């Protein structure tokens, strides 16, 4: 294997390792976001998009080159030309096997590079939604507490009015009572709005989790297919050598 394909294969193994680490179930998206926000990543982030696009271009070029090699060694004229030479038939099939191996390596490297970018983006989005969800829950608890306090004050005023122990003018008491009722209604409206926002955030969290699980299942399926293809090609190569 030449240096360039050794580098691509190492890059593929690195992608697989990173994706497996990101799929660890007991590490929450909030913790991953803290890791992504380390000072080292903040220094690298301005160059991230350029590096991402550059790697995609390199992988696409290698992928197209591998396709060209596969077509070249699969063509009938090339096989016929080398079949007349001693050991030419085995040599051309060895070249074909290597080109097919390079095709799989570059193709899966390109695919997993895009998957890795998407997984990191989903983790950050899920962490942001979880933060918003916690903030909304805190606001709902505050509004609930304020509404409960207003209701208790209103009940206390009613009791004082019923027992005629309040020395204020009745009109003033009614005005304060109406004011308290209005504050309670406002508090209920705010509580309803926050409850709807909380429900929406929870729905988004569930959707992001399902999308992340779907990507994980698709990655596992493709990895299994890759291993099967690699095993099939190795068996074919071993049979040809025999």
Q: Rounded to whole angstroms, how far apart are CA atoms 177 and 183?
A: 10
User: What digits encode the pLDDT tens for the residues 102-151?
Assistant: 889 999 999 998 898 888 888 888 878 877 777 778 887 887 887 787 78
Judge residue 51's burial from the number of C-beta atoms within 10 Å of its C-beta, 0-12 exposed, 13-18 middle, 19 or more buried. Answer: exposed
Contact (CB, 8 A) for 12 and 105: yes
Residues in CB range of 115: below 8 A, 6 or more apart: 19, 215, 219
pLDDT at 86: 52
Tracing tokens 């890059």 back to the chain, one arrives at 11
Contact (CB, 8 A) for 32 and 22: yes
The DSSP symbol for 75 reads S
User: What digits encode the pLDDT tens for the residues 50-83?
Assistant: 888 888 899 899 899 888 888 877 765 555 555 5
Delimit the domains of the chain by residue range. Answer: 3-32+47-241
Nearest to 29 by CA among 215, 229, 212: 212
Share of the chain above pLDDT 70, in %: 79
Contact (CB, 8 A) for 99 and 70: yes
Q: Rounded to whole angstroms, how far apart are CA atoms 100 and 149?
A: 73
pLDDT at 166: 47
Give me the chain's average pLDDT, please: 77
Tokens found for residue 150: 């207003």
User: What digits encode the pLDDT tens for the residues 166-217?
Assistant: 455 566 767 777 887 888 888 777 878 877 877 787 787 777 778 777 777 7
User: What average pLDDT score do residues 14-41 get?
Assistant: 77
Share of the chain above pLDDT 90, in %: 3
Classified as helix, coil or strand, 168 is coil
pLDDT at 68: 87
pLDDT at 242: 57
pLDDT at 236: 67
Nearest to 63 by CA among 127, 7, 8: 8
Q: Rounded to whole angstroms, how far apart are CA atoms 125 and 206?
A: 12
User: What average pLDDT score do residues 37-56 get?
Assistant: 74
Contact (CB, 8 A) for 109 and 15: yes
Q: Rounded to whole angstroms, how far apart are CA atoms 57 and 142?
A: 52
pLDDT at 88: 56
Q: Rounded to whole angstroms, how far apart are CA atoms 11 and 202?
A: 37
Contact (CB, 8 A) for 127 and 29: yes
**pLDDT top residue among 50 and 1:** 50
pLDDT at 84: 53
Tokens found for residue 217: 């299942």
Q: Rounded to whole angstroms, how far apart are CA atoms 150 and 181?
A: 8
pLDDT at 141: 81
């Amino acid at each position: 294997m030449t240096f360039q394909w050794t580098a691509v294969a190492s890059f593929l193994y690195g992608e697989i390792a990173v994706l497996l680490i990101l799929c660890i179930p007991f590490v929450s998206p909030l913790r991953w976001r803290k890791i992504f926000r380390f000072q080292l990543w903040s220094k690298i982030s301005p160059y991230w998009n350029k590096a991402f696009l550059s790697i995609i271009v390199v992988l696409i070029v290698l992928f197209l080159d591998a396709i060209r090699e596969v077509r070249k060694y699969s063509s009938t004229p090339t096989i016929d030309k080398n079949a007349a030479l001693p050991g030419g038939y085995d040599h051309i099939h060895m070249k074909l096997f290597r080109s097919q191996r390079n095709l799989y390596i570059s193709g899966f490297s390109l695919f997993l590079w895009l998957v890795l970018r998407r997984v990191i983006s989903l983790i950050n989005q899920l962490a942001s939604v979880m933060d918003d969800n916690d903030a909304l829950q805190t606001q709902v608890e505050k509004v609930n507490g304020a509404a409960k306090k207003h209701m208790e004050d209103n009940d206390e005023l009613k009791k004082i009015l019923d027992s005629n122990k309040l020395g204020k003018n009745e009109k003033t008491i009614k005005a304060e009572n109406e004011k308290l009722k209005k504050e309670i209604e406002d508090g209920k409206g705010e509580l309803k709005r926050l409850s709807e926002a909380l429900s929406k955030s929870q729905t988004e969290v569930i959707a992001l989790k399902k999308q992340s699980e779907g990507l994980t299942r698709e990655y596992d399926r493709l990895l299994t297919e890759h291993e099967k293809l690699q095993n099939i090609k190795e068996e074919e190569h071993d049979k040809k050598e025999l």
